[in-house]
A = this chain, B = another copy of it.
Amino acid sequence: MKKKLAELKTRLAEINDLQMVASLLDWDQHTYMPQGGAQARGRQLATLAKITQERFIDPAVGRLLEDLRPYEESLSSDADDAGLLRVTRRDYELALKVPPKFLAEFHVHIADSYQIWTQARPANDFDRVRPCLEKTLDLSRRMAGFFPGYEHIADPLINFSDYGMKASAVRRLFAELRTRLVPIVRSITSQPAADDSCLRLHYPEAQQLKFAEEVVRRLGYDFNRGRIDKTHHPFMTKFSLGDVRITTRVKEDFLGEALFSTMHEAGHALYEQGIDRAFEASPLGDGASSGVHESQSRTWENLVGRSRGFWEYFYPRLQAAFPAQLKGVSLERFYRAVNKVERSLIRTDADEVTYNLHVMLRFDFELALLEGSLAVRDLPEAWRERFRQDFGIAPPDDRDGVLQDVHWFGGTIGGAFQGYTLGNILSAQFYDAALTAHPEIPEEMRQGRFGTLHGWLKENIYRHGRKFTMDELAQSATGAPLTIEPYIRYLGTKYGELYDLR
């Protein structure tokens, strides 16, 4: 049994190596690769994906999993090996269900579709992507079809990123959240907007990067096991548990960009850097789900990074870094600036309060498209209509409307967005539990100390990697299943103090 387990681990390590290698290719493509490298890079990534898939669905892997079943059953379910076998089996069964030929067709289509989108978006040309999107919808439905027995056609797709979640559960959760959010948004946006002009002065790139680096170092990001590079659309990636990198972008006329996007990606990275090193090169050495991952980026970006306590410590340092720009700007004014709520067109630029409305809109459209109750050709108009309804404004064009997000042009329709709001909800639930365990956290934060919070998150979430599902983590870390109450309480308290909430 020992020998078989070792053989399985060796095979999985090789597969993980190939996946990490693909991540490096992807990172390089989005940071340093010259234009001339693009064509070959696409082919190299396809080759890696093909070889990885071949090696994973090798019947020998299935036989090892079968042979190891008695061993797995002899273990407590929270043993590492039990987790490894459980998660590997889950991945293996998923992988077996999707025919390689279909997967290849899907990947080719997605590469084309992404290419076309990069041109159609700036040209505000929905018609150009429409046939692509129709094919993506068709392929997404066929993908779901490989997993018969679902309750909703979106369920298998949601399962890829948020294992164990169902459309019905997300719908219920989102409906409840929406009922509570819309009045808060209405109430805030009917009041005078906060003044964030202090963020919109000239802030030189090099100093912004330096400050952002100091911040995330202090939060606990380990530069011996990571680094920061510039890119167009910031992301976190890793090539091993010892090499977890973040990327950022800088706008010299907006201080909020690099600062918060670096904290956001550092949140993802703290999660990955906190995974038990024993899970290196194994399927357990990854985040539990897209929702849990997002909960950590949002914790460090928002719950920590947009809190008054955080800025009590960092604001004097920021002022010292940018004396000309921030001279005479009080902490209070700055705090209000970084928490400005407004009805905006772009999800990724949205504030904490309105953000989830952007996500829900997309989630609902994904379901409607998959169900067939909404046609791709009607999407732009439906977008404008729903936007008007939720935000009271409408996008002037498709570029900043339905074309704004890469997700549907670089993956399936379905499963792409729910994780963002699940993450927001979870972030408050985890944070609440951390505060209950360690009431000293806010005071420590005012002193620039984040170790207690970081330690609690590592102990209760990060170190487990993929061993437990989102539900299991919520239960074990907070003693309750996923609930929106802490999140609503958080928003209510924070924004109730900033605005007059009726």
Chain A residues in the interface with B (C-beta under 8 A):
13-14, 17-18, 20-21, 24-25, 28, 32-41, 43-44, 47-48, 50-51, 222-227, 229, 239-243, 245, 280-281
Contacts and interface: CB of A to CB of B under 8 A. Distances in A.
B37 A242 contact: yes
A36 B240 CA distance: 9
B280 A32 contact: no
Contact of A20 (B40, B51, B223): B40
Contacts of A35: 224-225
A242 B36 CA distance: 4
B17 A227 contact: no
A183 to B, nearest CB: 47
Nearest to A223: B34
Residue of A35, A36, A223 with most partner-chain B CB within 10 A = A36
A280 B40 contact: yes
B240 A37 contact: yes
A226 B24 CA distance: 18
Nearest to A222: B36
A21 B25 contact: yes
Residue of A35, A40, A43, A239 with most partner-chain B CB within 10 A = A40
A239 B32 contact: no
Nearest to A227: B34
Contacts of A20: 40, 44
A234 to B, nearest CB: 17
Contacts of A17: 40, 43-44, 47-48
Contact of A242 (B14, B40, B227, B239): B40
Given A32-B227, A227-B32, A229-B32, A21 B44 contact: yes
A237 to B, nearest CB: 12
B34 A243 contact: yes
Residue of A17, A20, A50, A241 with most partner-chain B CB within 10 A = A17
A239 B47 contact: no
Given A21-B25, A34-B224, A281 B242 contact: no
Contact of A47 (B14, B39, B242): B14
Nearest to A15: B47
Given A14-B47, A51-B51, A224-B34, A243 B40 contact: yes
A17 B43 CA distance: 8
A19 to B, nearest CB: 10
Residue of A224, A241, A243, A281 with most partner-chain B CB within 10 A = A243
A21 B34 contact: no
Nearest to A226: B34
Contacts of A241: 40
A209 to B, nearest CB: 15
Given A21-B25, A25-B24, A47-B17, A41 B240 contact: yes
A318 to B, nearest CB: 26
Given A34-B224, A35-B225, 10 more contacts: A17-B44, A20-B40, A21-B25, A28-B28, A34-B242, A36-B225, A36-B226, A39-B242, A43-B281, A44-B239
28 contacts: A14-B51, A18-B47, A20-B40, A20-B44, A21-B21, A21-B44, A24-B24, A24-B25, A28-B28, A32-B229, A34-B226, A34-B227, A34-B245, A35-B224, A35-B225, A36-B240, A36-B243, A37-B239, A37-B242, A38-B242, A39-B240, A39-B242, A40-B281, A41-B240, A41-B243, A43-B281, A44-B239, A44-B240
Contacts of A39: 240, 242
B242 A13 contact: no
A24 B34 contact: no
A393 to B, nearest CB: 41
A44 B24 CA distance: 11
Nearest to A43: B17
B24 A28 contact: yes
Contacts of A226: 34, 36
A17 B226 CA distance: 26
A262 to B, nearest CB: 16
A225 B34 contact: yes
Nearest to A20: B44
A44 B38 CA distance: 23
A224 B224 CA distance: 32
A321 B40 CA distance: 37
Contacts of A47: 13-14, 17-18
B224 A40 contact: no
A32 to B, nearest CB: 6
A115 B492 CA distance: 57
